[in-house]
Structure 1
C-alpha cells in the first residue's frame, strides 16, 4: 500500500512538473528557433522530447534517485539502463529532428543510403544507435541469449513503432498513454514503476498541447516514449507475453514499409474516431 501511494505521488508530481515544463519548454524551443512545419504546414516548436528527457531525469532523481541512497528501491542495472536509454534515445532523435535529411524514408531507405551511397544519414545513425541502446538495455532483463535477442529486438521495434505513429497530433501520446496506463495498473505496488511513471505523468501533461498542435514531440519525443514503453512492459510482463507483442510489432513494421499507417487509420471508422478524439 505504501509503495502504491509513492508511485501515485510520483505520477502527480510529474504531471505538475510537466505542466510547468510544457510552457517553459515550448517557449525555449521557440526562442532558439527549433521549429518545423507540422502536417498542416504550421511552423511550431519541435523536438520536445529533449525537454521531456530532462524533466524525466529530474523527476526520477526526486522520486527514486536520491531516496535510493537511504532505501534501495530498484536494482542498479535497471536504474542506469533506464537513464541511459532516456538520454541516448532522446539525443539521437534530437539530431534527426534538427539536422536530419528528409530524403531517405524508412529503415530500408536509410540502410540503402548507407550501403549504396556510403552516406550515413541522421536516421541511419539513430537506427544504429537505437539498436545498440536496445542491445545494452536488454541485458538488464534477459536471463539467457535467446531472451536477450528477443528483448533487444522488442525494444528496438517498439522504439521505432512510436516514431511511425507520430504523424498526427496526439496519436503517439495516445498509444503510449493507453499502454502505460495498463502497465501502471498492473505494477502500481512495484518500486520499479518509479522509473517509468514520471514520463507517464509528463506525457499526460503534454497531451492537451500536442492535440492542439502547439508543439511537436519530434523523433526525440516519440522514440523516448517508445523505449520507455518497451522497458516498462519488459519489467511487468512475462517473456511469454512479450513474444506475441513482438510478432505484432514485426507485422506492423512490415506493413509500414509498404503502406501508409495514416491512410489505414483513416479508412477505419473506429480507429479514425480514436485518432481524431480531442484533436483541435
Structure 2
C-alpha cells in the first residue's frame, strides 16, 4: 500500500508549483509585451543608470503574473486572495502612473510634502496616497474575508483593537511596497530583496509569498541583463505582495516589529543613500553585483 504523503509536503509542493507558474507567467508576459508594446515602444522606454535605453515593461509583467497567480494559487483563504490582488493591482497601478506621467524632480516623502505645502500635488504624492489606500483596503480584506485565524487570535478581535490592527497591517503593506521600491536603483537589486524571502516559501507564509517571489524569479534575468526595469509599478507591486504575506500569517509582535523596521528603513533613506552603503561594504557589494554585467570601461 502506497504511503499517504505528508500534508506539509503536499502544501510545499503546491506552493512551489504556484511560484513556478508565476515565474513562467511573468517571463511570458514580458516577452509578449516587449515584442508588441502597448502604445508603441517609446512610451515604455527609459534611461537607466548607465545612460542606456531599457523597457519599463518588466513592471506590468510583474503585476500581471503576481495578480493572476494570487487569484488561482492553492493554499490561500478568501481574505488572503482578495488582499493580495488588491495590494498588487492597487500599488502597481499607481506605480505605473508615476512611471509614465511622473517626474524625478521631487523625491522622498519630505520632498513631496514640501511640494504639497507649495500647492503642488506631485505624481509621487498620488502614488503614496494610492499605495496607502490599497494597503488599508488589503488589510481590511484580510480581516473581513478570511476564514483562517492568526496564531494570536487577532482576526477575531473587535472594536478599537481591530481598527488598530487593520491600520497597522495596512501601513505594513504600504511600507513594504515602498521599501522594495527604494532598492530599485540598480539592475536586479529590488528583485534580489524579493527573492531573499524564498526560504519562507516552505514555511507558514509560503502560499501568500508564491506570487511575488515567483514573479521575481521569472524576471530577475531580464532585470540583471538590463533588458528591462521594474520601475515603481513592479517594485511597489511585489513589495506590497510581500507585505500581505507578512500581515496575513505572522503573529502580531512580528508584524509590529516588521512595521518598525520598514519605517526605519524609509526614514533612513531620506538621509542615507542605500547605494552608497552597499558599495562601502564588500560583502553587500558582491551580492548586489552578482549576475549583473560589468560596467564598461
Report the TM-score when normalising by structure 1: 0.87
Q: Against the structure 1 CA distance between its residues 60 and 153, is the aligned structure 2 distance closer, same or farther, given a 3 Å change threshold? A: closer
SS of 2:51's partner is coil
Q: Which residue of 2 aligns with 1:232?
A: 245
- Partner residue, 1:134: 135
Question: What's the TM-score, normalizing by structure 2?
Answer: 0.83
Gaps of 5+ in 2: 1-6, 144-154
Match of 1:149 among 157, 162, 167: 167
Conservation of the 8 A alpha-carbon contact between 1:85 and 1:133: yes
Are residues 1:58 and 2:68 paired? yes
Relative distance call for 1:210 and 1:254 in structure 2 (3 A) is same
Equivalent-residue separation in structure 2 for 1:129 and 1:62 (angstroms)? 25
Secondary structure of the equivalent of 1:258?
coil
The CA deviation at 1:62 is 4.3
Report if aligned partners of 2:212, 2:242 keep a CA contact under 8 Å in 1: no
Other-structure match for 1:70: none
Q: Is the 8 A contact 2:88 2:238 kept in 1?
A: no
Taking the aligned partners of 1:12 and 1:129, their CA distance within structure 2 comes to: 29
Q: Deviations over 1:250-271 (max 9, x none)?
A: 2211211012111111111111
How far did residue 32 of structure 1 move? 3.2
Q: Deviations over 1:97-144 (max 9, x none)?
A: 01002111111111211122x111111000011111112222224542
Contact kept, 8 Å, 1:26 with 1:215, in 2: the verdict is no
Q: Which has the larger radius of gyration?
A: 2
Residues 100-115 of structure 1: matches in 2 within 5 Å? 100-115=102-117
Counterpart contact for 1:158–1:230, Cα < 8 Å: yes
* Higher fraction of helix: 1
- The answer to whether the 8 A contact 1:134-1:156 is kept is yes
Counterpart residue number, 1:203:
216
Task: Show the counterpart of 2:35.
Answer: 27
Superposed CA offset, 1:5-56 (max 9, x none): 3222222222222332232233334843211000001011015222222233
Q: Distance in 1 between matches of 2:176 and 2:201?
A: 18
CA distance in 2, matches of 1:149, 1:58: 26
1:182 aligned to 2:183?
no
State the shift of 1:61 in Å: 4.1
RMSD: 2.0
Distance in 1 of aligned mates of 2:171 and 2:69 = 28
Aligned to 1:79: 81
SS of residue matched to 2:54:
strand
1:221 shift after superposition: 0.5
Contact 2:80 2:244 in 1 (8 A): no
CA distance in 2, matches of 1:47, 1:22: 6
- Which of residues 254, 257, 267 is equivalent to 1:254? 267
Uncovered stretches (5+) of structure 1, i.e. residues with no partner: 65-72
